[in-house]
A = this chain, B = another copy of it.
Amino acid sequence: MKIVIISPDHDTRAWEDAMWDENQDLEIEIYPDDTEREKTDFILAWNPPEGVFKHYPNLKVVASMGAGIRHLTKNKSLHAEVTVTKIEDDQLIEDLQYFVLTSVLNYCRNIPYYVIQQQQKNWNRISYHRPKETHVGVLGLGNIGLPVAQLLEKNNFKVSGWSNSEKEIENIDTFAGRDQLPNFLKELDVMVCLLPLTDDTEDILNKEVFNQLPEGAYLINVGRGSHLVESDLLEAIEEGTLSGAALDVFQDEPLPKDHPFWENEKITITPHTASVTQPSSVAHQILENYKNLKQGKELKHTVSRKKGY
């Protein structure tokens, strides 16, 4: 039993430990120090280097170390026949639910403004927004977006959702496809991006979309950095089209020191911390799929490479 890990940007020890805890017979090798690549059929990866998969002629499965898989599918060396799986982590969903609730409530209650004001020793009260008067739109109603929308609804927010395919959800107005996007956008106070990253959704948070929101709307991005056209956001805030943004994901992470977001007081930056997958809570599903592969059973959490999620 051997699994190869390809994740050159990260310390992989927590993953090794978690998988060993599940199965002491497992052999784990870390790229680029792995051996006998022609025998490798199962790889666990995050942000693999371009071209790396050409060294694995008998690869059957690549498991993503997270919920996103575009870091794999954009790799040109990954054969179309290789099965791609993602992590489905209930804990990750719950963490994202409460992170988004925190971000929306902070918009309502101006907490980042007060933290900055405190440093200037200013006692200036500004008006707040109530959940029942705040219309939040969630982009993406999949296994993450849907429970986020529902938690907001449970906390009295007015909630709409937009997704690729039509859905019907209690107490949430739903919109589907590009045709209905303008109607979805036109009444929102806050727009939350929880879309998967695909060719269709890349750059979706752009000037054209911002201009369809009511003036002064607020953006929360917990999808991927590549959903956002960063220069369009700066311009929209400068012009007052948007009142501000809370961003947890960025084109380049860590966010470069010279990036203009750092100094913009209308943007609240968190360091990709909305949900941090703990290897110990998901190692089991990786190993289960590994066994499924060996026993010729169907794999779980597979991804449609055509749809991209």
What is A's interface to B at a CB cutoff of 8 Å? 91, 94-95, 98-99, 101-102, 105-106, 108-109, 111-112, 114-116, 118-119, 121, 123-128, 130-132, 151, 154-156, 253-255, 257, 262, 268-273, 276
Contact between chains at A95 and B128 (CB < 8 Å)? yes
The 5 closest A-B pairs by CB, nearest first: A123-B254, A102-B105, A115-B115, A121-B262, A123-B271
Q: How far is the CB of A133 from chain B (nearest CB, A)?
A: 11
Pick from B115, B131, B155, B269: contact of A268, CB below 8 A.
Answer: B115
- Name the distance in Å between A283's Cβ and chain B's nearest Cβ: 19
User: How near does chain B come to A142, taking the closest CB pair, in angstroms?
Assistant: 22
A135 shortest CB reach to chain B, Å: 16
Q: A271 is contacted by which of B119, B125, B156, B272 (Cβ under 8 Å)?
A: B125
Contacts of A273 in B (CB 8 A): 109, 114, 125-126, 128
B272 lies within 8 A of A114 (CB): no
Query: Contacts of A105 on B, CB cut-off 8 Å?
Result: 98, 101-102, 105
A98 in contact with B268 (CB, 8 Å) = no
State the CA gap A273–B118 with chains docked (Å): 14
**11 pairs of residues in contact across A and B, judged by CB atoms under 8 Å:** A94-B132, A95-B130, A98-B130, A99-B109, A102-B102, A102-B111, A106-B111, A114-B270, A119-B262, A125-B272, A127-B276
Instruction: Give the Cβ gap from A108 to chain B, nearest Cβ, in Å.
Output: 7
- Distance in angstroms from A72 CB to nearest chain B CB is 23
Q: Which residues does chain B contribute within 8 Å of A91, judged by CB atoms?
A: 130
CB distance from A109 to the nearest CB of B (A): 5
Closest chain-B Cβ to A141's Cβ sits at a distance in Å of 21
* Known A121-B262, A276-B125: A269·B98 in contact at CB below 8 Å: no
A132–B90 Cα gap in the complex (Å)?
Answer: 13
A269 and B124 CA atoms in complex are apart in Å by 11
Measured CA separation A43–B291 after assembly (Å): 78
B114 touches A111 (CB 8 A): no
- If the complex has contacts A98-B130, A118-B268, are A111 and B112 also in contact, measured as CB distance less than 8 A? yes
The residue of chain B having its C-beta at the shortest distance from the C-beta of A259 within the complex is B121
Chain B: minimal CB distance from A302 (Å): 28
Give chain B residues whose Cβ lies under 8 Å from the Cβ of A271: 114, 123-125
Which residues does chain B contribute within 8 Å of A121, judged by CB atoms?
257, 262
Indicate if the CB atoms of A131 and B254 lie closer than 8 Å: no
Q: How distant is the Cα of A128 from the Cα of B124 in the complex, in angstroms?
A: 30
Among A115, A121, A154, A262, residue most surrounded by chain B Cβ atoms (within 10 Å): A115
Tell me if B94 and A102 are in contact (CB < 8 A). no
Q: Which residues of B contact A131 (CB under 8 A)?
A: 98
A16 to B119 CA separation, bound complex (whole angstroms): 36
